[in-house]
Chains A and B, each alone.
Chain A
């Protein structure tokens, strides 16, 4: 089996969407290892822990915007505070179901955000992704 990436992270509070997205990623052989978090806060803790333990970091992170407690942008703020190699290694793909122009604008302004994707993911979207391997 040939996977595009070794490890990817899926962060979304909508559990149904997580199931769907994970399935799509698996079907497309997107990553060997797909980790799913329905809380951005827990995902962040996981990343911090990985850095501390010198574990492999995800090469791609799918990040939903609208989440309670900590939303996508709040996550990014903290994420960018991690060591430089972390933010360089992880490519962020933001997910949205509303396409709020304000969110679009903000996402485009964030350096760490590769692109903003419409939910749900599908094969088409994934195959059009311009990601560095």
Chain B
């Protein structure tokens, strides 16, 4: 306040205090004070008293204006009569006030402030820049250049520009834009210069520019007219190009975009912590509030509120934090100069898209003085000129219009600037407004406007600019009533596109935060103030060695080393400053510790709880592999807990040793229910591939199978365990995906085949069956045009043989509303014919009334052709199979026969029906099918295999087959195998015979050796005994004793004789042919018994003979004698001496063709352990035996020679029975 009358100045102050202006008055009465305060105090309003003589208002005005354009100058005068006031206004004073009108001063100030604010914005951000400002661009992230308009020379570029266009400064400086050939279209330069001269500033101007390398790119630029070294120049600010947009998007785009919008916005855009602390504020705070952004960041917004607004703001703050909506609040904010500005803020909380975690509050703030004031202004004709002057300079559309028709009666110049339509167009077109509202918003805004009963309302919606851009606007509308009772509305429109963009961008930032949280290389945890963990990312789990669940159950005490004194300091610091950054010791689940960089900050969540966000980076050097391992196991646990995957462990045989996971539920199985099963059970087809992972570390395949009645698909990832204990597999249930894939493929397939072979024609008929429409396909198939097809015309080309049936039948079906299936031929005008399959379906209305038919015609000519080919090829195949000299069969995967040829039936002796029942394994001669299974498995792997097997035919004979198996592939899947079976029995038989003979020869050789030594022993033994006895006898003087020796000698000689006799019998038996003569059994037995009489005790034995001779008996008498005498002599020799009535009973039944003989005794019996060996050569069972061990051997050999059988039954001390069955050679003899 400039003046020397303190009373006058005090009057002004008291007057202004009545208003709602907030201000700090400073009185100035010297020029020096004035100049000092201009630079120290930054006055917003200068009020100069015209009566102040020391410093005239005109001089003060000049000083003020030269110092800054920020202040406003009001002249306080007594009257306008002297013309001085007018001079001041002309010199640049903002307003004047007559001392008698002092109460109007506040209004004048407000109006000036409003105007100033707008001018400030313009001058700060959009008016030509000072040279010094250009320096600001040196480090800008945006490419900036300055081109002198007079000669088109580039006078300034920043580094970014050089980088973007591939120039170095030297190349470009002082060259004209044409010389450096930057214009893709030369004429663009002229257009740009013209435009910039009229518009001063061009936003989002599109340029096609050429870089140094010659590439032409599209750019978006902001171009401003400015003074550069005293000359007009164009400052070009490249906002983006295709390249930078992509990079920006990918790397840090969202932030940059947000900033570029926020920084260019006329609104103050700010972000806050939940407590309201500024974390970001756009530069618009400078013109609007006088603060540098740096001065605000870190401070709470509450520090700047008018004390009377605090309560109100707190309420809104709470609402913003607790609800997802945006809230608008009007309040007063203290500017740097200490005065208060009334602003409108729209606030909203940004939350993570998925978990809703608080990210930040986003505020957009603007001074509302002007807008509200405009509403408050009465339509005052006197002031309207003044107003319109103001209006034309504001960055707000001001309009008046009819409340009923929405026709504008006035809009200011900015309307044209913002939306591009000339003002005249706005006013002349009665429906201008509604036509330029974005179509999506029309209903909403129109109904709002027509239904609202509020005299004042605000709404946001979109309008379409002349250039087609969508502009978000906010409209404040005030309804005023005129004398004629016609409502009029006055409104203002401001551009909020930037704010909307900012919100969108921030949403992206929020998503980015979320992805940062989830994908960060650092551990991030969110905890309560007390340290309880609320959320954690995977990396944090890895760092702490815990699963997510475990993390959420732990707290600070578990994960931080509480013995670390730095922890308390850190917590204290965080409590003081809201954040902490530094090194702390962390604790893993296993108790091990690690040093970590901790960065933690506190914020308040929507429920008002204090929450901390902590970033942890392990700074101890860790082996990558260790982390990898932990990650794996954590992933595994995580997977097991949350994802429908089946995890299993297999041993080397492919048996499940463990199984668990949600994925098993698809199979209706619980955890561990697979254990014990084999992967060959669950995936016989894919098991080998899974097992393959044992050799390859990893196998990935999609396997399908059936279990519990459903078909399912699993995608398997199989790993060899690190310690090679088996395999670990993950099976992802992809049944649903696969089902749809298959369905999709099927439908694609169908579509393709339909279009390729079975084109479908469609026709529609009315209720009487008269055609009303056909599609192109139908026309082509039938060879009739649409016109020709109408009515009954569609079947004009039906083959005459089919026509009568079709027409009569069709009419009847059509009337009855039945579906009509048919098959008939079309003869087309070109003479070709098509077989078609036709189906019609009745069409019913919703009410169930028949109103027509739709028919489809399928061209099956090709299909019929294909069918015929198929039949032919089948016949070819069949004749090939049927006439094959080898057996040919096919089996499915379960070795079930699916077809066999006649030769195979003959080979096996089984019919096809029987073969189906016994399956292939039923044919195998050996019960062991494992080897066979190997071959089958090989075949199933897709290998042609060839192998030999013995099969047992239905006749009981063994046939050796050489089988060649060929897998049957159907759509790349093995569905079975063909087998070609060659009978190789003969071939193999010869080989085997040779081998057998060889073996027999070897055996004979061995036996011969054995025989020689045994016989030499048995021959020598009696002789040596005799020699010994002779030696004794010679020196024995006692004759009685000598007599004894002689007896012994004679025994030895008898023994030798018997042995020699045995050898002779044996030799006879093996050499002599069978001699056939009649046998009298009675005589034979008697003779035999007679010969044995000399044996000690033989006379005690009762020999009983029982004969039942139904026929004469012919046999080899010599051999029969050997057989019987050996058996009977044994019975005599080994009779039971303690038995009172020892007996030998011989019984025989002589039949026509066979003779059964039984020789039983009640003798000593044979120990069971010897029983099976008694027929062996040189086997002597008894210690009491004096035999050679040849007797029973010869018996057996002789019986075999006679083609008979012999068996023995014996019980120790009870007796022995021999059973002999020999053929009666009577009939043979007759021949």
Contacts and interface: CB of A to CB of B under 8 A. Distances in A.
A120 B1013 contact: no
Contact of A68 (B1048, B1051, B1182): B1182
B1181 interface: yes
A17 B1024 contact: yes
B1025 A20 contact: yes
A37 B335 CA distance: 135
A20 B1017 contact: no
Given A68-B1185, A69-B1183, A102-B1013, A20 B1029 contact: yes
B1016 A98 contact: yes
Interface in A1-29: 13-14, 16-17, 19-21, 23-24, 27
Interface in B996-1043: 1013-1014, 1016-1017, 1020-1021, 1024-1025, 1027-1029, 1031-1032, 1035
Contact of B1028 (A13, A20, A38): A20
Contact of A120 (B1028, B1179, B1181): B1028
B160 interface: no
B1186 to A, nearest CB: 8
Contacts of A23: 1032
Given A20-B1029, A102-B1013, A14 B1021 contact: yes
Contacts of A119: 1021, 1024, 1028
A73 to B, nearest CB: 14
A115 interface: no
Interface in A21-51: 21, 23-24, 27, 38-39, 41
Contacts of B1035: 27
B495 interface: no
B960 interface: no
B1017 A98 contact: yes
Nearest to A39: B1183
B1017 A14 contact: no
Contacts of A68: 1179-1183, 1185, 1189
B1017 A120 contact: no
A23 B1189 CA distance: 28
Nearest to A16: B1025
B935 to A, nearest CB: 46
A97 interface: yes
B775 to A, nearest CB: 101
Nearest to B1184: A38
B1052 interface: yes
Chain B CB within 10 A, most for which of A23, A24, A38, A118: A23
B1017 A97 contact: yes
A66 interface: yes
B950 to A, nearest CB: 39
Interface string A47-65: 0000000000000000000
Nearest to B1017: A98
A120 B1027 contact: yes
Contact of A100 (B1017, B1021, B1027, B1052): B1017
Interface string B1172-1215: 00000001111101000100000000000000000000000000
B1032 A98 contact: no
B1032 A97 contact: no
A122 B1016 CA distance: 21
A118 B1027 CA distance: 12
Given A23-B1032, A122-B1031, A17 B1025 contact: yes
Contacts of B1016: 98, 100
Nearest to B1169: A69
A66 B1018 CA distance: 10
Nearest to B1025: A16
A102 B1009 CA distance: 11
Given A16-B1029, A66-B1017, A120 B1024 contact: yes
Chain A CB within 10 A, most for which of B1017, B1024, B1180: B1024
Contacts of A100: 1013, 1016-1017
Chain A CB within 10 A, most for which of B1028, B1051, B1189: B1028
A100 B1013 CA distance: 6
Bin the interface of chain A by size: 20 to 34
Contact of A14 (B1025, B1027, B1031): B1025
Interface in A90-133: 96-98, 100, 102, 118-122
A127 to B, nearest CB: 15
Contacts of A98: 1013-1014, 1016-1017, 1020-1021
A41 B1179 CA distance: 17
Contacts of B1189: 68
B1024 A97 contact: yes
B1048 A19 contact: yes
Nearest to B1051: A16
A91 B1200 CA distance: 47
Contacts of B1185: 68
Given A97-B1021, A98-B1016, A98-B1020, A20 B1032 contact: yes
Nearest to A67: B1183
Contacts of B1180: 68-69
A122 B1031 CA distance: 8
Contacts of A96: 1017
A121 B1035 CA distance: 15
Contacts of B1028: 16-17, 20-21, 24, 119-122
A16 B1031 contact: no
Given A17-B1025, A98-B1013, A98-B1017, A120 B1031 contact: yes
Contacts of A41: 1183
A125 to B, nearest CB: 11
B453 to A, nearest CB: 122
A98 B239 CA distance: 120
Contacts of B1183: 13, 38-39, 41, 67-69
A68 B801 CA distance: 103
Contacts of B1013: 98, 100, 102
Contacts of A14: 1021, 1025
Chain A CB within 10 A, most for which of B1017, B1048, B1051, B1189: B1017
A17 B1031 CA distance: 12
B484 to A, nearest CB: 140
A116 to B, nearest CB: 14
B1031 to A, nearest CB: 6
Contacts of A66: 1017, 1021
Nearest to A21: B1028
A96 B1183 CA distance: 18
Contacts of B1032: 20, 23-24
Nearest to A40: B1183
A101 to B, nearest CB: 8
Nearest to B1055: A16
A67 B1180 CA distance: 8
B1056 to A, nearest CB: 12
A97 B1027 CA distance: 12
Contacts of A39: 1183
Interface string B982-996: 000000000000000
A23 B1051 CA distance: 18
A38 B1186 CA distance: 12
Nearest to A17: B1025
A109 B1185 CA distance: 30
Given A100-B1013, A120-B1027, 4 more contacts: A16-B1048, A68-B1179, A68-B1183, A69-B1181
25 contacts: A13-B1183, A16-B1028, A16-B1048, A16-B1051, A17-B1021, A17-B1024, A17-B1025, A17-B1028, A20-B1028, A24-B1032, A39-B1183, A68-B1182, A68-B1183, A69-B1182, A98-B1013, A98-B1014, A98-B1016, A98-B1020, A98-B1021, A100-B1013, A100-B1017, A119-B1024, A119-B1028, A120-B1028, A122-B1031
Interface of A: 13-14, 16-17, 19-21, 23-24, 27, 38-39, 41, 66-69, 96-98, 100, 102, 118-122
Interchain residue pairs A-B with the least CB separation, the first 7: A120-B1028, A98-B1017, A20-B1028, A68-B1180, A100-B1013, A16-B1025, A39-B1183
